[in-house]
Structure 1
């Protein structure tokens, strides 16, 4: 009887997770279909499109976009395969309507920026570069293959190549100490279109910025270990090759072993 109740509880939890994941995907899919025809191309850089009322915000993006694009091309080892467009929203409500998630910036089929970023102008370039990293991958992989990638890789890479965008409130030293003390995310290989196995339950126990900083440190370790192999790995991912296959062909190891090497390296540095 107890086993039966436990089975029911497990199945119920599984179905709840499926439902919540589906709701999120449906909400974002609906947002993606909404028109952006009312956005205006900036007269100084038509790659920046803005809603009426977001002129000042758009001006700030125009000033930093060329440098940010070049930064991502250099650090992710490949040109953007499609023209870059940045959509600057005039209100938080408009951003949510077009993106489907309440946050500061995001990429679905478009790179969208919320005016919430105007509250922290010193971080706008960090966020822009972070989202350009996602756009760079999205253009090559498409939405479904992007969802298959593990969160730690997508967000860790974006945080690394943007010089810390999305993790500003947590220092590398703080994140390293947390990892050494056992308060860290657990790397997974991704899969199932992002509904499951994108990140572990341990990830959710961390604050957003702590999580992203830890992701970044792990991806940075991969790069520092052997940049030639890191480049090979990242280009393989961009070519649409399976994560585990890309890792094995580049580093000749498994994710589990790579993580053990990472922890050993951190402990050796104290």
Structure 2
């Protein structure tokens, strides 16, 4: 083998390895940035110590404080047990600071739950203030489920389940603007989400579609529209699972929060895999 060929092969291997490792390194980089911008440095709200805020966001923090007790009680009731650790909510006035602290590096995401905190974007205190209560409860659902899941090594539950659950228990938070009738029409046209048995740590918020919806149906904000359609379809499926077996659904949620395998638990409780039950759900929707 010639030197040039060996060099070319080595370069190709390094390129492939670079692409393979880029996502984990990017995730690690964002995590380290988030740790350096930990919300613990923000001042507490005097009237509600579980709320922290950036200077300039005090009025919004006060609104969050008013909503928080009812939201916490709602999530505990819906998800069947108290929070493992009482979550803290951080309210931001700077989009840049919020993006760094959230660990996603994306200021367009309205809220994120991580490391026992729920971080709220400035948009929820401004242009999207009508979403504040729903999104707060949505993220508290995530904080609840992952607060109990203390192992970094356990397989992550699929996003359709965690996001569908969060939309369901929050009364629609995260899927605003897409109602069930719109989701039914989308599924009838083949724009149904894909159902997997495990989630991905590197892409934990993404839900795929069997056939990608055309961008024009979402108007000016394709990302938000696509996400909210996916979340609404997931919510409908999760609600259906709870409706056909309320006790089994409660056991499934308990097993997931105890780091047990989602796939094995689902089959044990529902007698078939999640994709099989999804097919049954779609058949019912089409009728």
TM superposition score normalised by structure 2: 0.81
Given the alignment of the two structures, is residue 231 of structure 1 paired with residue 250 of structure 2, yes or no?
A: yes
Greater mean alpha carbon deviation, residues 186-195 or residues 133-142: 186-195
Q: Counterparts of 1:72-151 in structure 2 under 5 Å?
A: 72-99=75-102, 100-102=105-107, 103-109=109-115, 110-118=117-125, 119-142=127-150, 144=152, 148-151=156-159
State which drifts further: 226-235 or 206-215: 206-215
Question: Aligned pair in 2 of structure 1 residues 104, 204: CA closer, same or farther (>3 Å)?
Answer: farther
Asked if structure 1 preserves the Cα contact closer than 8 Å seen for 2:30 and 2:100, the reply is no
Deviation string 1:16-70 (CA, Å, 9 cap, x unpaired) is 4652354245313431343334311111111111111110110110110000001
SS in 2 for 1:220: helix
Structure possessing the higher radius of gyration over alpha carbons = 2
Deviations 1:221-251 (A, max 9, x none): 1111111111111111111100111102211
Structure 1 alignment gaps of length 5 or more: 1-8
Query: For the residues of structure 1 that align with 2:129 and 2:204, how far apart are their CA atoms?
Result: 35
1:222 to 219, 227, 241: 241
Contact 1:158-1:165 at 8 Å conserved across structures: yes
User: After the TM superposition, which residues 147-226 of structure 1 pair with which residues of structure 2 at under 5 Å, given as runs?
Assistant: 148-191=156-199, 193-194=201-202, 199-200=207-208, 202=210, 205=213, 207-226=226-245
Mapped partners of 2:206, 2:58: distance in 1: 37
Deviations 1:60-109 (A, max 9, x none): 10110000001100111111011221111121111011013321110121
Q: Is the 8 A contact 1:190 1:196 kept in 2?
A: no
Distance (Å, rounded) in 2 between the aligned partners of 1:160 and 1:236 = 19
The number of residue pairs the alignment matches comes to 259
Higher mean Cα deviation, 195-204 or 120-129? 195-204
259-268 or 166-175, larger mean C-alpha shift: 259-268
Equivalent of 1:30, from 30, 33, 58?
33
Contact preservation (8 Å) 1:38, 1:51: no
Consecutive unaligned residues in structure 2, runs of 5 or more:
1-11, 214-224
* Equivalent position SS for 1:144: coil
**Cα distance in 2 for residues equivalent to 1:185 and 1:14:** 31
RMSD of equivalent CA atoms: 2.7
Q: 1 CA distance for matches of 2:239 and 2:265?
A: 17
Tell me if structure 2 keeps the 8 A contact 1:81–1:139. Answer: yes
TM-score between the two structures when normalised by the length of structure 1: 0.86
